[in-house]
Amino acid sequence: MTCIVGIETKDGVIMGGDSGSSNGYDYTATRLKKVFRRGLFLIGYTSSFRMGQILQYRLEVKKKPKDQDDLEYLATIFIDAVRKCLKDGGYKKTENEVEEGGTFLVGYNGKLYYVGSDFQVNSTRNGFDSVGCGKDFAKGALFASVGLPPKKRVKQALKAAGHFSTGVCGPYHIIEMK
């Protein structure tokens, strides 16, 4: 269970995450942070603490070629590195020849991207996104808070998700990448 929130700003990307840890029946606040920097990337994850740890401590991504745009780079070189990293870390699942990972947000080069469990890369026109069980509450709060300072928007979105979702709780961790 989780809520990760990301916003594109004029200065970069700001991302926040909660501290909830749940197996569906038991619930506690963890010391682990679900948002982190890894090289040129800001990552906030849901799905599995193991997946997040593998990405945080093992992900190695080649530099972007000058002739590639950011989306092509993320959808190819970055995702290939994620798939390899998760496979080597024992997390990636393959069933009926279909690979599955987990869900996370990525801040890269001042933009926010969504990575789905099928390794798709997407980016919304809103300039914000959220993943995890509290995502709908967070997205509503982000939509309603346009015009407020970005850090305040992220914190309010996480608090709204924590108020309405049993799988989200503080403390909340917020990171900016310029």
Neighbours of 158 (CB within 10 A): 29
The mean pLDDT of 117-126, rounded to a whole number, is 96
pLDDT at 16 over 90: yes
Write the pLDDT tens digit of every residue in 100-109.
899 999 999 9
The mean pLDDT of 67-74, rounded to a whole number, is 97
The mean pLDDT of 39-52, rounded to a whole number, is 95
Q: ∠ at Cα 85 (80, 90), nearest 5°?
A: 130
Write the pLDDT tens digit of every residue in 166-176.
899 999 999 99
In the chain, where the domains are located: 4-177
Write the pLDDT tens digit of every residue in 80-101.
999 999 999 999 788 888 888 9
**Which superfamily is assigned to 4-177 in CATH?**
Aminohydrolase, N-terminal nucleophile (Ntn) domain (3.60.20.10)
The mean pLDDT of 144-164, rounded to a whole number, is 97
Token pair 């993943």 is found at 131
DSSP string over 104-145? EEEEETTEEEEE-TT--EE--TTSEEEESTTHHHHHHHHHHT
Calpha distance 123→1 (Å, rounded): 22
